[in-house]
Amino acid sequence: MKGCLISFEGPEGGGKSTQARTLAAALRSRGLEVLETREPGGTKLGETVRGILQNDLAGEPPCDAAEALLFCAARAQLCRNVLAPALSRGAWVVLDRFTDSTLAYQGYGRGFSVDTLRAMNSFATGPVRPNLTLLLDVPPETGLARALARSGSKDRIESAPAEFHRRLREGYLELAQKEPERFVVIDATAPEQVVRDRVMAAVDDRLRPAGRC
């Protein structure tokens, strides 16, 4: 595909949404076409699934297997209807969470087989793959405190036990270690401006030599 896909990943409160917004604006100022979106979401179906997954809008919480499938269903809709067309016409996509969230949360967090989840991801995404993944790493207590300070209450997944959040953070770091050519790990405990500079440096270091930006 002609375009370029950058995904932001990491535990809650790492600053993914903040940094995705800033990066998208910086890339636009370079004259690039940029699509900024999020998972779960980015389509009508995906936003409906988001309400079911985070706020129990179906009237009952999904079981863990249904949760994994619903994230992948939202992903399939986003990839096929939005991301693949954008990337094919050469746009840049800045994505707040993607396939690695399923591996970290449903795999390392909930305990499903990471290999099975990789196969589900692959079915959902088709040929869409991130060119670069920025892992904004924060200890769970820091990230959850930030998220709580912002919204005042915890959603269904944020309310999971501390051990779940510890496992998924470790999972992310393991995923990054296994694919160093795709991941850049950024210490997101630093002030927002410092994280922003690290994000821009990572994008330029990794994607400029490839003639991408």
| Site residues for ligand Z5A per CB under 6 A | 12-18, 39-40, 71, 97, 101-102, 105-106, 146-147, 150, 157-158, 188, 191-192, 195
If the CB atoms of residues 121 and 131 are measured against ligand Z5A, the closer one turns out to be 121
CA nearest neighbour of 3 among 121, 128, 133? 128
Query: Cβ 90 to ligand Z5A, closest distance in Å?
Result: 25
Is there a contact between 63 and 105 (Cβ–Cβ < 8 Å)? no
Query: Shortest Cβ distance from residue 169 to ligand Z5A (Å)?
Result: 12
Q: Are 91 and 34 in contact (CB under 8 A)?
A: yes
What's the one-letter identity of residue 12? E
Structure tokens at 187: 């210490």
DSSP state of 112: -
Rounded CA separation 7/4 (Å): 10
Nearer to ligand Z5A, 33 or 163 (CB): 163
CB of 148 to ligand Z5A, least distance (A): 9
Which of 162, 180, 173, 179 lies closest to 136, judged by CA?
A: 173
**Distance from C-alpha of 200 to C-alpha of 2, rounded to nearest angstrom:** 21
Structure tokens at 149: 């300070």
Nearer to ligand Z5A, 114 or 212 (CB): 114
Q: How far is the CB of 97 from ligand Z5A (least distance, A)?
A: 4
| Shortest separation between residue 32's beta carbon and ligand Z5A, angstroms | 22
Pick 84 or 157: Cβ nearer ligand Z5A: 157
Nearest to 82 by CA among 132, 124, 25: 124
Residue closer to ligand Z5A by CB (options 3, 14) is 14
User: Residue 102 CB, nearest distance to ligand Z5A (Å)?
Assistant: 4
Residues 43-58 as b/e (b if ≥16 CB within 10 A, e otherwise) read bebbebbbebbeeeee
- 107: which 2 tokens? 């795999």
- C-beta of 16 vs 167, nearer to ligand Z5A: 16
